[in-house]
Amino acid sequence: MREIAFIKQNKDKWESFENYLFNNISINPDTLSDLFIQINNDIAYSNTHYPKSKLNIYLNALGAASYQKIYLKKSSISTIKEFWSKEVPLLLYEKRLYIYFTFILFFVFILIGVFSSIYDESFIRGILGDNYVDTTIENIKKGDPAAVYNNHSKIGNLNSFVSITINNVRVGILMYISGFLIGIGTFKLLFFNSIMVGAFQTMFFKEGQLLKSMSAIWIHGSMEIFAMNIEAAAGFILGTSWIFPGSFTRFQSFIKNGKESLKIFLSTIPFTIFAGLLEGFTTQYYNEMPMFVAFAIIFATLGLILYYYIFFPIRIHRKHKNTLKNMLEEYEIQ
């Protein structure tokens, strides 16, 4: 058989196997077993008939990768490294529309909070509570609008960090698992939290302290709020698995998307912990640090989490994009 004919005959099978190996696309165990046997047969055929071909190199690489994935146990360090550097980014790319959708909702809800606060004087108090608003206004008069974050003691800082982090992780878990019933719970929590952010910032705007407040609150808030949106996206992935099962049964779709969304949720925890560290140990010094330093921290933390969840997945996807496609282009096969 001519080499091009051999490629045309088998390219769909190789593509399916490569998607399983490199893009974490699930395959039925029986189908996977058949594919593995067929790939090894194709390797033997290619070694015999096309020993110096690029096709032979490709198939042998595919076989080596399959052997490593199926038979070799990885060390815990390499498993952790692959989770952060490959598995999560590829999932984030695959589920990127959920993430974009969540951020669109977040900004729409913030605008609702902002305009509601501007046109209704009682809205801010209704969202944030009279006691919090009165305390904040009193702090503004004293020249320390974010005094609520002040805690100048090592023990106090540590206690703040622990309590803040536990609370933020709890909120994240709630945001995620609330998506179980077609995402309704996640939607409500995202709505309330986004409205609150809008009302909160509008309160400072009305008092002429928007920039000063942002230099304090967003030192930790850039990571905390970004992570909250990723947790909400994971909740929507979990919830919509019942509605959009694709080629799977609803139960299979729920199990598959449940595992994938859980991995995405777990990826936010280090960022949530780091946000807690910043809130417990750094935010309180906003009044003593130059504003450009505060905003440098804000943009650095925002840039880090934005890169990992938005730009890094695109880069990894391109890196692991189907090598079969490149080979087919060389052979001019559609």
User: What is the rounded CA–CA span in Å between residue 92 and residue 94?
Assistant: 5
Q: What is the enclosing helix (H) or strand (E) of 308?
A: none
User: What is the rounded CA–CA span in Å between residue 226 and residue 102?
Assistant: 10
User: What is the rounded CA–CA span in Å between residue 190 and residue 56?
Assistant: 52
User: What is the rounded CA–CA span in Å between residue 226 and residue 223?
Assistant: 5
Per-residue tens of pLDDT for the chain, all 334 residues:
778 888 888 887 777 777 776 666 666 666 666 777 787 788 888 888 777 777 777 777 777 766 666 555 455 566 788 888 888 998 999 999 999 999 999 999 999 999 999 988 789 999 989 998 899 888 888 888 777 766 654 555 777 788 888 999 999 999 999 998 888 999 999 999 999 999 999 999 998 888 888 888 899 999 999 999 999 999 999 998 888 877 678 888 888 889 999 999 999 999 999 999 998 888 888 878 888 999 999 999 999 999 999 999 999 888 766 555 555 455 444 4
Half-sphere exposure of 16 (CA within 13 A, CB side): 15
User: What is the rounded CA–CA span in Å between residue 224 and residue 283?
Assistant: 13
Which pTM does this prediction carry? Answer: 0.75
Start-end of H helices in 88-153 = 88-94, 96-119, 121-128, 130-141
